[in-house]
Amino acid sequence: MKKQGTNPYLPSWEYIPDGEPYVFNDRVYVYGSHDRFNGHVYCLNDYVCWSTPVNDLADWRYEGVIYKKTDDPLNHAGNMCLYAPDITVGPDGRYYLYYVLDKMPIVSVAVCDTPAGRYKFYGYVHYADGVRLGEREGDQPQFDPGVLTEEDKTYLYTGFCAMDDKSRKGPMATVLGPNMLTILEEPVFIAPSKPYSAGSSFEGHEFFEASSIRKLGDTYYFIYSSIAMHELCYAVSKYPTKDFVYRGVIVSNNDLHIASYKPADKPMFYGGNNHGSIIEINDKWYIFYHRHTNGSNFSRQGCLEPIEVLGNDIIPQVEMTSCGPNGGALIGHGEYQAYLACNLFCRDEEMYTGALWMDSQFPKITQDGKDGDEEDGYIANMMDSATAGFKYFDCHGIRKIKIKVRGYCEGAFEVKTSWDGEVLGKIPVDFTNVWTEYAADIAIPDGIQALYFTYTGGGRASLASFTLE
């Protein structure tokens, strides 16, 4: 049977947030920063690349390290991290990687002849007089570059604006010449930060970070993370450097605003900063974004969902799912790993992962071993009321459910098809320090269903997987 597409779309031991997807030569390539499992800050690892055929969003291939943090001349000691990058094809047909080192206000560029080869340092974005962008008096610091090349011009979008920082006015657009480094048109602000948004279409969803740019027909789509952090918003314009108007939220990594299956203001995952973009693959549109794991901000994983791009530049918000890359519901039969949970919460609601750091009361997706170990993820620290939700499955004739559990726990897992729905059955569990399988006869109604597993009882359970029979 062909492998199904699931979220996260990469292996559970890989942590690639800030995903910028592109299609080159009938393959989808994703470029992002590279978190470390159990890392203490963002983006500790070198840039790597993964790719998959355009007709199979489940067949991801590791392309290897494409750029090391020490490849930048300013970072020979490796004491600065590679923050979120973006890539574009220059007029010469080569691939240009734009990035910012932490602690630096400038934009670095690397280049390669192929999409996922070994990139080499190329230079820094600079004014015609040689002064680097971000270092001239009056410049605002550069951050999170997004790039789009049209003929001999490359449009560079950058910026970081904390909520109440009046020194930051918003995201900037800068036009570069054909050498991909020299500025032709100096930075202009294309959207407001929070202190400058009164009366604008951006009120309530002002720019925070994560600039990304796409062009659909004659319209430019500026995708960004708002001051709410958990949401990826978009604004549109007929021009690349002016007249952008806010249009909406595409995805939230705690599913806020979604009212189809729960109250709009109820968080269903532990969210945090978000970064990604939209891409057309085989005539279908998708949003790439990331989720937070391990109870911290610093182990983020890439996810994707299909979206609709409607008339009048409308992209309705989509919910987080376990089956986004699959193009539809997963087969309602067989074993599924617990790290595929798209909902994770307990009775004490919390919107942001940051509040969970070193906090023991919340469940979390994690793994055994150290960074780089190819260990399957699982859900740890499930105390009474902790709930893991999985969406969606095409169910037919399910009469038994098995789960793999370990931990100091004594209680049961309730099974439901909605987060607040009827309990269809319970699977008792007991203390064990190794993964142990438990089962119960539980009938799931036929059709497309969500599945929710809620732990009730004492102690702390870990959930590795469930099997539908």
Instruction: Note whether 442 and 401 are within 8 A (CB).
Output: yes
Distances (CA, A) of 284 to 167, 231, 313, 325, 342: 40, 22, 15, 11, 22
Q: Are 192 and 206 in contact (CB under 8 A)?
A: yes
CA neighbor of 291 nearest in space, from 382, 368, 377, 374: 377
Distance CA 249, CA 204 (A): 11
Does 224 sit behind a cis peptide bond, omega within 30 degrees of 0 on the bond before it? no
What are the phi and psi torsion angles at 373 (to 5°)? -70, 130
CA angle 294, 296, 297 (to 5 degrees): 125
Residue count of the chain, please give it.
469
Query: Could you confirm whether 18 is annotated as catalytic?
Result: yes
51 — alpha (psi -120 to 50), left (phi > 0) or beta? Answer: beta
Catalytic residue among 14, 18, 72, 350: 18
Distance of CA 98 to the CA centre of its chain: 19
Sheet of 219-226, strands arranged across: 207-216, 219-226, 231-237, 245-252
What residues contact residue 323 under an 8 Å CB cut-off, 6+ apart? 4, 5, 6, 7, 329, 330, 391, 392, 393
- CB of 232 closer than 8 Å to CB of 212: no
Out of 72, 206, 209, 319, pick the active-site residue.
209
Q: What angle do CA 321, 352, 227 make, to 5 degrees?
A: 95
Contact predicate 223/277, CB 8 Å: yes
Query: 419-427 long-range CB contacts below 8 Å, 24 or more apart?
Result: 419/261, 419/262, 419/268, 419/343, 419/345, 419/387, 419/389, 419/452, 420/262, 421/452, 425/401, 426/456, 427/401, 427/402, 427/403
Q: For residues 256 and 247, is the Cβ–Cβ distance under 8 A?
A: no
Q: Report, as residue numbers or ranges, the catalytic residues.
A: 18, 209
